[in-house]
Chains A and B, each alone.
Chain A
Amino acid sequence: MNLDIGRGYSEFQDEVRTWLSEHLVGEFREHLGVGSPTDDTAWDVRVEWERELSEGNWLGLTWPVEYGGRGLGLAQEIVFEYEYARAGAPARVNTQAFELLGPTLLAFGSEEQKHRFLPRIIAVDEMWGQGFSEPGAGSDLASVRTRAVHDGAEWRIDGQKVWTTFGDRADWLYVLCRTDPDHALRHRGLTLLLVPVAQSGVEVRPIENITRSTEFSECFFNDARTGEDMVVGGVGNGWRVVMTTLGLERGSALMPLQLSAEREVGELIEAARARGALSDPRIRQRLVDAMIGVHIMRSTNLRVVTDLLAPKAGLAGRATVAAATTSKLFASTHHQMLGELAVEVLGAPAVFDVDGDAGDRARKLFLLSRAETIYGGTSEIQRNIIAERVLGLPR
């Protein structure tokens, strides 16, 4: 059944499809479905691809025109992301900037900040990294200790951040700092600061993940400096700024996960067929369950997106708050189950002796998916949020 979301936006959908089919060629075409927000495979090709997107005016679709965006609506963004995911185009590289920092600046940044940073993000001239978590502050983000002290016309930053995705490629970091350690309410003494990496006071050290890839880093601040004009949303307002941004539900973010999972299930079914594993009813039933999971993600996404694009202003998204809030938990759990099944279907080559592409992909899916229930809000925190905010259970 074709419940194509682009149906009501066919001109724009055609524009996207045409452009993608004309530009997703050559080297780019060879890297379909490659990479993820935590996988730096084919980084250079993906940077080139992002520049190609930029030249085609596909970045910052909903950002105001005065900052280099196209000023389009959520509907177009969703249609674009859907067609992008369907085409299997390489995973983007500056997701931090587009999904978090950019919207933060649009909501809380000064005009100078917006003009200074947004166009360069769109031009793929500057990469961004997130400075939120610390060794002592993960789920409990409000307990961060990286200190920023006002010093003349500058801020001096000392401390340490960790799990900065693609931190070793970042030109700038957006850093949640403690500016008032004496405040009675620890949430209130925080400030979001923009900090340039290229300085002696900032040291970025890549961390190897369980596949030995260095998609995240720790960042050490030792008398690091940034200008007064690099405060976002006001001194002491950091918590509100960060929580608002993290809380922004973006319907367009649901599709890529679902579409790549769909592709993976399809590939796994063919891998099972090739190995004669489909005749085993237990494998068959688990593959059907994997496929059911993907079907449900697709249906949930359609419900959420339909609700977001609902014509009644102010009510968009309201009917599907529960569905939207439970999406990450469902998708991450499903992906882990898929990884386990993939390794079992591929068997010995995936576990003991990587033999060829398929075994390697299965192993990577299995290993990398372990992070999905941890980053972006652990599954435990997701459950707390679902229970407290959606079901109304006591804190």
Chain B
Amino acid sequence: MAMITTDEQEALRDVMRSFLTRYSSESDVRAVMDGAAGYDETAWRMAAGQIGVQALVIPEEMGGAGYGFDELAIVMEETGRSLFPAPVLSTTVLATSALVATGGPLAHEYLARIATGELIATVAVSEVLLHWDPADITTKADKSGGTWRLTGAKPYVLDGGQAGVIIVAARTAIGVSLFTVEAGAEGMAVTALESMDQTRRLARVTFDGTPAVLLGEDGSGWAILCVVYDRALVALACEQVGGARAALEMTVDYVNMRQQFGRPIGSFQAIKHRCADLLVEVESARSAAAYASTAVTAGADDLSVAASIAKVYCSQAFYHVAAECIQMHGGIGFTWEHPAHLYFKRAKSSEALFGWPAYHRERIAALIGLI
């Protein structure tokens, strides 16, 4: 989101919100949690047809709408607010960023299919670590007999079980490179994970001599992934801001309504003050995400620092708000039936995704010269 949103961006927000109210209600989210598909197929199709979410930030010359990151930020914030059960982070952020950054005919082909909503795509990088680090890439790519073949395991692939194509980071003789593997490829096993956060689907994907196609230049994968990583951090931060705001709104609504001792519990100062502290965190998270989003759009020098700052702060803010949300709802906040736990678990999974805050603090320290 920009420092201050434009009228058009607010219009996009309104459109997203109406759409999500219709297609991403709590019961829609729960239906996907319980279902086999792992995403809401109707909603995903509607998102493409009615709004063009999948095509939003794909450049026009590659079949997209050519919008910028500030617009994507709004989409992320709104989907975060509704816990939209669809592969937006994987397809629209991770895969699209990797493909746009790489360019070339193969990338263009995939982007055209992503833009229509027909193709779900994701990127598989992490192996042992949650943050992205070249030393973590041990999945190998061998080119014997003219075909690239991958061997290794990616234990935490976002929407790995839903994707029609996976972009895989693997190590060649030259270095880390990117490969595309389509669903059903020989020697690839995809196992759905049982995540604490059931609103986000992940899969363990293993490769045993799986044929793959090189995406971009051999050995140039890490440079592309660095670009993708910062964008992913900022997009996730925007999603976290949306989730935090939803959890705070839910809390404020509840404490305004719930009566005990003859008055709304929101009139007790302890509750009031804690809600005020949560608003400070939400607004600060919004500021961190806005700055980082602006840095993406501007291609700023301090983008990596800004992205990690946003990751640290928005992760902690979302988690804290979600935890307080459960607390201030009392007993019902601890039930499966109440939505509070959905945000709580989403907050914790988001905190872990792409690296815990402790890692990002060290990344910041290194970037600003403290290490």
Give the B-binding residues of A (Cβ under 8 A).
1, 3, 269, 273, 278, 281, 284-285, 287-289, 291-292, 295-296, 298-300, 302-303, 306-307, 310, 319-320, 322-323, 326, 329-330, 380, 382-384, 386-388, 390-395
Selected from B264, B276, B306, B313, the residue in CB contact (under 8 A) with A386 is: B276
Most chain A beta-carbon neighbours within 10 Å: one of B276, B294, B300, B306: B276
Docked complex: B15-63 residues within 8 A CB-CB of A: none
Interface string of B359-371 (1 = CB under 8 A from A): 0011011001011
Q: Which residues of A sit under 8 angstroms from B267, Cβ to Cβ?
A: 393-395
Complex CA distance for A245 and B251, rounded to whole angstroms: 33
> Do A3 and B3 contact each other (CB < 8 Å), given the known contacts A288-B365, A323-B286, A393-B266?
yes
Task: Determine whether the beta carbon of A394 is less than 8 Å from that of B291.
Answer: no
Q: Which residues of A sit under 8 angstroms from B309, Cβ to Cβ?
A: 292, 295-296
Give the A-binding residues of B (Cβ under 8 A).
3-5, 252, 255-256, 263-264, 266-267, 269, 271-273, 275-277, 279-280, 282-284, 286-288, 290-291, 294-295, 298, 300-303, 306, 309, 312-313, 358, 361-362, 364-365, 368, 370-371
19 CB < 8 A contacts A-B: A288-B365, A292-B288, A292-B309, A296-B284, A296-B309, A299-B288, A303-B287, A322-B283, A326-B283, A382-B276, A383-B277, A384-B273, A386-B276, A387-B275, A387-B276, A391-B252, A391-B276, A393-B264, A393-B272
Q: Which residues of A sit under 8 angstroms from B303, Cβ to Cβ?
A: 1
Q: Write the nearest CB–CB distance from B108 to chain A, whole angstroms.
A: 31
> Do A299 and B287 contact each other (CB < 8 Å), given the known contacts A292-B309, A382-B276, A383-B277?
yes
Q: Write the nearest CB–CB distance from B292 to chain A, whole angstroms.
A: 9
Most chain B beta-carbon neighbours within 10 Å: one of A273, A392, A393: A393
A292's nearest neighbour on chain B, judged by CB, is B309
Complex CA distance for A390 and B298, rounded to whole angstroms: 32
Complex CA distance for A211 and B252, rounded to whole angstroms: 41
> Do A392 and B370 contact each other (CB < 8 Å), given the known contacts A299-B291, A306-B3, A306-B4?
no
Task: Determine whether the beta carbon of B291 is less than 8 Å from that of A295.
Answer: yes
Complex CA distance for A302 and B292, rounded to whole angstroms: 13
A285's nearest neighbour on chain B, judged by CB, is B361
Task: Determine whether the beta carbon of A383 is less than 8 Å from that of B276.
Answer: yes
> Do A1 and B298 contact each other (CB < 8 Å), given the known contacts A296-B284, A326-B279, A393-B266?
yes
B7's nearest neighbour on chain A, judged by CB, is A312
Excluding A3-B294, A295-B288, A380-B273, 10 further A-B contacts by CB distance (< 8 Å) are A1-B298, A1-B303, A292-B313, A295-B291, A298-B291, A384-B273, A386-B280, A391-B275, A393-B272, A393-B275
Complex CA distance for A260 and B300, rounded to whole angstroms: 24
Q: Write the nearest CB–CB distance from A381 to chain B, whole angstroms.
A: 10
Q: Which residues of A sit under 8 angstroms from B5, Cβ to Cβ?
A: 319
User: Chain B interface mostly helix, strand, loop or mixed?
Assistant: helix
Complex CA distance for A332 and B69, rounded to whole angstroms: 33
Task: Determine whether the beta carbon of A388 is less than 8 Å from that of B272.
Answer: yes
Task: Determine whether the beta carbon of A330 is less than 8 Å from that of B3.
Answer: no
A-B pairs with CB below 8 Å: how many?
131
Task: Determine whether the beta carbon of A300 is less than 8 Å from that of B287.
Answer: yes
Complex CA distance for A295 and B295, rounded to whole angstroms: 13
Q: Which residues of B sit under 8 angstroms from A326, Cβ to Cβ?
A: 276, 279-280, 283-284
B305's nearest neighbour on chain A, judged by CB, is A295
Selected from A278, A296, A300, A322, the residue in CB contact (under 8 A) with B371 is: A278
> Do A296 and B276 contact each other (CB < 8 Å), given the known contacts A287-B370, A302-B3?
no
B282's nearest neighbour on chain A, judged by CB, is A322
A330's nearest neighbour on chain B, judged by CB, is B280
Q: Which residues of A sit under 8 angstroms from B287, Cβ to Cβ?
A: 296, 299-300, 302-303, 323
Task: Determine whether the beta carbon of A330 is less than 8 Å from that of B370.
Answer: no
Task: Determine whether the beta carbon of A302 is less than 8 Å from that of B291.
Answer: yes
Q: Which residues of A sit under 8 angstroms from B286, Cβ to Cβ?
A: 303, 323
Complex CA distance for A392 and B298, rounded to whole angstroms: 37
Complex CA distance for A320 and B287, rounded to whole angstroms: 10
Q: Which residues of A sit under 8 angstroms from B252, Cβ to Cβ?
A: 391-393
Complex CA distance for A380 and B298, rounded to whole angstroms: 39
Selected from A281, A289, A383, the residue in CB contact (under 8 A) with B273 is: A383
Q: Which residues of B sit under 8 angstroms from A300, Cβ to Cβ?
A: 283-284, 287
Q: Write the nearest CB–CB distance from B284 to chain A, whole angstroms.
A: 5
Complex CA distance for A303 and B298, rounded to whole angstroms: 16
Task: Determine whether the beta carbon of B277 is less than 8 Å from that of A394.
Answer: no
Task: Determine whether the beta carbon of B279 is less than 8 Å from that of A386.
Answer: yes
Q: Which residues of A sit under 8 angstroms from B361, Cβ to Cβ?
A: 284-285, 288-289
Q: Which residues of B sit under 8 angstroms from A273, Cβ to Cβ?
A: 370
Q: Which residues of A sit under 8 angstroms from B295, Cβ to Cβ?
A: 1
Task: Determine whether the beta carbon of A310 is less than 8 Å from that of B4.
Answer: yes
Q: Which residues of A sit under 8 angstroms from B368, Cβ to Cβ?
A: 288, 291
Q: Which residues of B sit under 8 angstroms from A298, Cβ to Cβ?
A: 291
In the A-B complex, the 4 residue pairs with the smallest Cβ-Cβ separation, listed nearest first, are A1-B300, A299-B287, A387-B272, A383-B276
Complex CA distance for A323 and B295, rounded to whole angstroms: 20
Task: Determine whether the beta carbon of B283 is less than 8 Å from that of A299.
Answer: no
Q: Write the nearest CB–CB distance from B279 to chain A, whole angstroms.
A: 6
Complex CA distance for A393 and B253, rounded to whole angstroms: 9
Q: Which residues of A sit under 8 angstroms from B273, Cβ to Cβ?
A: 380, 383-384, 387
Selected from A284, A323, A384, the residue in CB contact (under 8 A) with B365 is: A284
Task: Determine whether the beta carbon of A1 is less than 8 Å from that of B313.
Answer: no
Q: Which residues of A sit under 8 angstroms from B294, Cβ to Cβ?
A: 1, 3
B298's nearest neighbour on chain A, judged by CB, is A1
Selected from B4, B284, B302, B312, the residue in CB contact (under 8 A) with A319 is: B4
Q: Which residues of A sit under 8 angstroms from B288, Cβ to Cβ?
A: 292, 295-296, 299
Complex CA distance for A177 and B329, rounded to whole angstroms: 45
Q: Which residues of B sit under 8 angstroms from A292, Cβ to Cβ?
A: 288, 309, 312-313, 364
Q: Which residues of B sit under 8 angstroms from A382, Cβ to Cβ?
A: 276
Task: Determine whether the beta carbon of B256 is less than 8 Å from that of A394.
Answer: yes
Q: Write the nearest CB–CB distance from A277 to chain B, whole angstroms.
A: 10
Complex CA distance for A287 and B362, rounded to whole angstroms: 11
Task: Determine whether the beta carbon of B280 is less than 8 Å from that of A1.
Answer: no
Q: Which residues of A sit under 8 angstroms from B370, Cβ to Cβ?
A: 269, 273, 278, 284, 287-288
A281's nearest neighbour on chain B, judged by CB, is B362
Q: Which residues of B sit under 8 angstroms from A388, Cβ to Cβ?
A: 272
Q: Which residues of B sit under 8 angstroms from A281, Cβ to Cβ?
A: 362
